[in-house]
Chain A
Amino acid sequence: MADPVIVVGAGPAGTRAAQRLVQAGLRPVVVDENERQGGQIYRRQSENFSRPAEKLYGAEAARARALHTDFEALRPHIDYRPGTMVWGVAEEGLLTVRDRAVATLPFSAIIIASGATDRIMPVPGWTLPGVYSLGASQIALKAQACAVGGAPVFMGTGPLLYLVAWQYLRAGVKPAAVLDTNSLATRLRGLRGMMTRARVLAHGVRYMAELIRAGVPLHTGITPARIEGREDGVTAIVWQDARGRLRRTACDAVATGFGLRAETQLADLLKCDFVFDRRFTQWRPRVDPDGRASRANVYLAGDGVLLRGADAAETAGRLAACALLQDRALPVGTDEIADLRGILATMDRFAEGIASAFPWPAHMAAALPDDTVVCRCENVTAGDIRHAATALDSPEINRAKALTRPGMGRCQGRMCGLAAAEILAAARGVPVEQVGRIRTAAPLKPLPLDCTVTP
């Protein structure tokens, strides 16, 4: 029997990809790092929680419920491996680990739907206890019904900033402030693109309106100066307002994020070609419009390749599955593919609107004080990276990594890599794409040394 198709990730993209494969009579293996299907936006709460979908997902409750119930219907038709981390690629197959058991999964094709993480811009004090990524603060709320603080500040940029602040407000935690590094004028630049999906745009406007009505201060065009705190946690954030005045907001937690970064490591291990995507100012695997990577039998869908959000991920997951079926000469309607492409074209324009409304503040990396920690695993500062750039003459990020260690630690640069590249590029006076990207190596995430190998 031929090796199965593996779908990596059971969020919106992975779920819809698996569903389309099952509809075509295939039985894919679905590997998901989470214990429960749903991904990040439609993350499910733990089994012993019973909050209604409306409370968890707000306006997206119906979509969330559909994604969850459709997946439950798939269960008998797939080889589902929850709580399983993909950590490497060998000739024998995809290497996974669950608890401490390593498995080798041969595959004939793979659809990667690995999602994204927050994109982090370091700020002095960001390594204090009480500073969370936006995504982490959202996980705490959704999965565990916990708040990261009683008076959190949401600082960074992007639609998620307002969504999570609003979710906290709805959960009974009033944010101390929402601080957006982008100005309203910048946001208007993305308006045309965002208008392509008026319903989604309306949700965003509603979140902001409700935050304002509840008395949450929303500030735009800010520049964070530092996060203050003691060993036991955050006490305040100091920031510069749009007019250049230094201000201080007392808080007991900071949730921060500057848009998203695609989780592209698996495609890198599979030796897929990468391109620098100017819209999202980051490297990503090169794909054709349907999600085919540069290597045969490798497909990508969702925010793990193109940061277009959860709705687009569902469409792209299905389309990637169609591409795979088409490549195997299995029956797929050309109408279906054309329809999916059409939907994605709109999503593309919307995503570009979002990207230009909430651009990554690359200039902040260049302005970071030398003593700011950038790589928190290895305690590498902005000054260390600049030293690598100048005195040690590192022309690209892997050289800087070899000489001064940014990205050498547990996260392998997943958290700090993009900011480190900006600092290096600024210090060298070159565009960020010229300093490259941190090379991926197995294990994709830390692998216990006492794991057992099942043959």
Chain B
Amino acid sequence: MNDFARDPVRADVIVVGGGFMGAATAFFLRTHGLSVILLERDLIGQAASGTNFGNVRRQGRYLPQLPLAHRSRDIWGRLPELIGEDVEFLPSGHLLVTTRSDDGARLEQYAVDCKAWGLDLTMMTGDQARAMFPMVGPEIHTVSYSPHDGHANPRLAAPAFGRAARRAGAHVVEQAPVLSITKDSTDFIAETADGRVYRAPMLQVSSGAWGRKMAALFGEDVPMAPQGPQMGVTEPMPYRVAPVIGSASSVTDEGVYLRQVKRGNIVFGGGRRSTADLETKRARLDPMNTLRQMPQLARLLPAIARLRVIRTWSGVEGYVQDSLPIMGPSERVSGLFYAFGFCGHGFQLGPGVGATMAELIATGHTDIPLEPFRVGRFQRNAANAAAYSPHA
């Protein structure tokens, strides 16, 4: 038994926050041979990581984020060999669909632009899409098809990475809220609610919607606010709908999406988001939003109208003002790293974020472009940042 296993209060890296990003980072840090302590306030993957839709989607992303998404997609395909389970990842394809010609034109343009970023999409008319996927609704007239995207089970993914990290030798501490983080001449010192003190020369903040509070401890404010996605699931029907189907509508209430799991249930979400509370750690599911989603879902997939909704849920997600995450090194404190605020689109990125952050922390370098996600990008208009509200 080495010193670390005996007395796991000091490590090379402390990861604060055991969502998908933190759990995956801890896992990949071990593959670089660094010792790591992962501190999770509740249980691994309970907030946004465990309650999101489960989209493993690259298409439609901000183009400079695609290298990260590609890296992540590659890892998604290798999960059984890496972490010992597939977390129900199905590379069953992804359809972005529209009923409006202006949205259709946007999709066409994206399909052209993303080629240079290494993503190949197939554009289809509604009829072409229906020939291939007969369940798609008659109103759909433009479809962008990404054949190698898909979906996975968010309830399983982060906990699976957490267990894999633990098996690989990470010290994973659950139900350990971090009360304070300070830094002396060499180490970050994190104190948890049970009075334990953990030390490491490097520290990553991956606290999701709570990341703002953590970054603020080091004088780096980020304009961000919590919101809750409005999710639901139907009773099962025979497995017929392979691809994820998402609306690319520019009208908020039309922007719903759905996926069928192999058990037969159809998971859905989209449209408006609801309020979330960082103190109670609860996001509100407004059942009126479920009612708003229903007719929109039936436009994408008319067969869904014959099913019943059996459950709805939400979770606390962190939304940054420019809808891009905070990812990369601190610009004020050496040894400090950030990966939080993934604005409701972090699930696909999880494994890639873990691999990239671990690489950055272990080697000081990564080829994945992170410039658009740097923490300091809001500094010039700090006043705006402080006043940011996503509902305004």
Contacts and interface: CB of A to CB of B under 8 A. Distances in A.
Given A88-B287, A442-B312, A403 B156 contact: yes
A87 B290 CA distance: 12
Given A402-B155, A449-B304, A449-B305, A412 B298 contact: no
B287 A95 contact: yes
A335 interface: no
Contacts of A408: 311
Contact of A441 (B43, B235, B307, B313): B313
Contacts of A402: 50, 155, 159
B234 interface: yes
Contacts of B311: 408, 412, 441, 443
B220 to A, nearest CB: 33
A218 B325 CA distance: 67
Given A402-B50, A402-B155, A90 B288 contact: yes
Contacts of A392: 159, 163
Interface in B280-313: 285-288, 290-291, 294, 297-298, 304-313
Interface in A436-454: 441-443, 446-451, 453
B159 A403 contact: yes
A90 B310 contact: no
A451 B294 contact: yes
B286 A412 contact: no
Contacts of B310: 409-410, 412, 443, 446
Interface string A398-436: 010011000011101000000000000000000000000
Interface string B151-187: 0000110010001000000000001000000000000
Contacts of B175: 395
A403 B155 contact: yes
Interface residues of B, number: 30
B155 A447 contact: no
Binding site secondary structure of chain A: loop
B156, B234, B310 pick with most chain A CB within 10 angstroms: B310
B304 A443 contact: no
A450 B302 CA distance: 10
Given A408-B311, A443-B312, A90 B287 contact: yes
Contact of B297 (A409, A442, A449): A449
A123 B193 CA distance: 43
Contacts of A92: 288
A399 B43 contact: yes
A92 B286 CA distance: 10
Interface in A51-100: 87-92, 95
B304, B307, B308 pick with most chain A CB within 10 angstroms: B308
A397 to B, nearest CB: 13
A102 interface: yes
Interface string B313-343: 1000000000000000000000000000000
Contacts of A102: 291
A102 B290 CA distance: 12
Contacts of B263: 378
A406 to B, nearest CB: 13
A450 B306 contact: yes
A455 to B, nearest CB: 11
B50, B175, B311, B313 pick with most chain A CB within 10 angstroms: B311
A442 B289 CA distance: 12
B285 A441 contact: yes
B308 A449 contact: yes
B163, B285, B291, B307 pick with most chain A CB within 10 angstroms: B291
B245 to A, nearest CB: 15
A453 B298 CA distance: 15
Contacts of B50: 402
B345 to A, nearest CB: 21
Given A446-B308, A449-B308, A453-B291, 18 more contacts: A91-B286, A102-B291, A395-B43, A399-B43, A402-B155, A402-B159, A409-B235, A410-B310, A412-B310, A412-B311, A442-B285, A443-B309, A443-B312, A449-B234, A449-B298, A449-B305, A450-B294, A450-B305
